[in-house]
Structure 1
Amino acid sequence: MIAEPGDGERDVNVNETFHEQIDDELSEKELKQIEADDQAIQTILLGLPE
């Protein structure tokens, strides 16, 4: 179900394993993907005309 704006009292079902992930909890795979994304962004920006 999609919550409507202002529907602050609606219960939200969350899996028991869900928790807020912090930088220390990023997996090695996620870190490598972030680095690859950063490199791709830098390559794109360097190729843009000034």
Structure 2
Amino acid sequence: MVVSLIILGFILLILGVLTPIATGTSILISVILFVIAIVLSFKKRKAMNT
């Protein structure tokens, strides 16, 4: 789940670099996906620790 979000973020980031028109939105989406992935991984780590 988390890995797929990160991969999707990388793909969107690469597409954003390749297409200047959609750069702003795709970078924004990829940043949001990265944040979601980080939050999910932290939640999983906290759940494992407790």
Q: TM-score, with normalisation over the residues of structure 1?
A: 0.45
The structure that has the greater radius of gyration is 1
Q: TM-score, with normalisation over the residues of structure 2?
A: 0.45
Structure with greater proportional helix content: 2
Structure scoring higher RCO (CA < 8 A, sep ≥ 6) equals 2
